[in-house]
Structure 1
Amino acid sequence: MSKLSQGHTVEQNDSVRIERSRRRSIVLSVNSRAEVILKVPYRTTNAEINRILFERQDWIRTHVARVQSARASADTLSPLTDEELRQLSHQAAQYIPPRVALYAERIGVSYGRITIRHQRTRWGSCSTKGNLNFNCLLMLTPPEVIDYVIVHELCHRKEMNHSARFWTLVASILPDYTEQKRWLREHGGVIIGRLEA
């Protein structure tokens, strides 16, 4: 077991990563590396964890297989060239700012500078000053996914965390956000994998 941060621990249970924190809900997910992650409150017993994993084993198998299949197909894709990245950055610079303006008005927030980059670690970010950063590789995802990332970052202008209030705010703007979040989790690794090492 190793400390992630104060009030947050992580442990390994066979092929499942268990993250314990002060959260109230239990969330099971499969990330873009086909790793199974179970987020639970501190009080959750090992027996409860094992029961959840047993009851959701079909779901786990399905989603792990889906991500593994997507990762395998990524091996057949060529790395993005510098020219392709320039084109994606240009497309993002044209497409994303108007969507940011649209959703900022709906959410009722302001924002600062918008920056477009290509990154391996994140799809978007929001600084404490309200500056927004978006990954140009978003242009290789469905429009609904782009909107989700934009809304996600703008909601941080009201809630600079991932609390229940934050997700409630996201859901008030995009009721189906979990579908887009799942799409990124399952397919995002393939897209980012096209960046040259």
Structure 2
Amino acid sequence: MTPYPLTIATSARRRTLAIQVRAGQVIVRRPRGVSDAEVHALLVRKSRWIKAKLQLQAERLATEVEHSFETGDRFDWLGQAQVLTVQRGRESSLQHQPGAIHITLSSRARRDARTLVREQLLQWYADCALQWFTERAPALAARLGKRVSRVQVRVTRSKWGHCTSRAVLQFNPLIMQAPLPVIEYLLVHEVCHLREPNHSPAFWSLVAEHCPDYKASRRWLKEQGHSLFF
């Protein structure tokens, strides 16, 4: 029995034993053949780290912004607050002007307004992110002597970006709320993985070459990234 929610996932594909702390619960991923006793021993060894992670997540949860998704609510765009206005009309639409996001909900829609507004915002951020990263990633990759096969966007709480072995770059569209230097850092980070598919010193040296102030942006994501979710 542990003082926190615990999930143990066993997989024949895994080669190592690992712990993940997410959303207030601890997840242990183990290869087949690893005993419960070995898992317990790992939890004991990592107890201080687990406690610190759980406390940090609890503090972040307490400071998360509760959105109403109604007129007057605020959502960021490139690090700047945008005031939301919501109205009913013939067709659903979203218009963005400097400092303002205007959403019209179809008068024929039967689902609750909060859900509809949230969906429109998520789709807008996704469309903007796909366009922004698609326009920039191939050129940066070419400077590294690499190519991008495809750019995708997907909302996930586990990571802000991902680079696959097939040169597919995936970005979390909610990053478009962050300050521009943070977005540019994420672009550089994932494109550099096309050459260095790890987080070795060579990788970070390559990142620094194309994003000299990357440490500040990386710190911002660690400390403020949770505030971008809604």
What is aligned with 1:152? 189
Q: Whose strand fraction is larger, Structure 1's or Structure 2's?
A: 2
Q: Whose helix fraction is larger, Structure 1's or Structure 2's?
A: 1
State which drifts further: 165-174 or 87-96. Answer: 87-96
Structure 1 residue ranges, 4+ long, deviating more than 4 angstroms after superposition: 30-33
Between 1 and 2, higher relative CO (CA 8 Å, sep ≥ 6) is seen in: 1
What is aligned with 1:34? 56
Per-residue CA shift, 1:64-118, capped at 9, x if unaligned? Answer: xxx93x6433143347711110111111122221221332233332111111122
> Is residue 3 of structure 1 aligned with residue 13 of structure 2?
no
Q: CA RMSD in A?
A: 3.0
In structure 1, C-alpha distance between the alignment counterparts of 2:189 and 2:222, rounded to whole Å:
15
> Is residue 74 of structure 1 aligned with residue 64 of structure 2?
yes
In structure 2, C-alpha distance between the alignment counterparts of 1:143 and 1:164, rounded to whole Å:
25
**Distance change >3 Å, CA 157–CA 170, structure 1 → 2:** same
Match of 2:225 among 158, 168, 188: 188
Give, in angstroms, the shift of residue 127 of structure 1. 0.7
TM-score (structure 2 length as normaliser): 0.55
**Partner SS, residue 85 of structure 1:** helix
What is aligned with 1:12? 46
What is aligned with 1:60? none
Consecutive unaligned residues in structure 2, runs of 5 or more: 1-15, 19-29, 32-41, 70-116
Amino acid of the residue matched to residue 67 of structure 2?
L
In structure 2, C-alpha distance between the alignment counterparts of 1:188 and 1:136, rounded to whole Å:
12
TM-score (structure 1 length as normaliser): 0.63
Q: How many residues in Structure 1 have an aligned counterpart in Structure 2?
A: 146
In structure 2, C-alpha distance between the alignment counterparts of 1:150 and 1:32, rounded to whole Å:
29
In structure 2, C-alpha distance between the alignment counterparts of 1:176 and 1:31, rounded to whole Å:
26
**If you compute each CA radius of gyration, which structure gives the higher value, 1 or 2?**
2
Consecutive unaligned residues in structure 1, runs of 5 or more: 18-29, 36-66
Amino acid of the residue matched to residue 139 of structure 2?
L
Give, in angstroms, the shift of residue 143 of structure 1. 1.2
In structure 1, C-alpha distance between the alignment counterparts of 2:210 and 2:46, rounded to whole Å:
35
Give, in angstroms, the shift of residue 134 of structure 1. 0.9
In structure 2, C-alpha distance between the alignment counterparts of 1:147 and 1:102, rounded to whole Å:
13
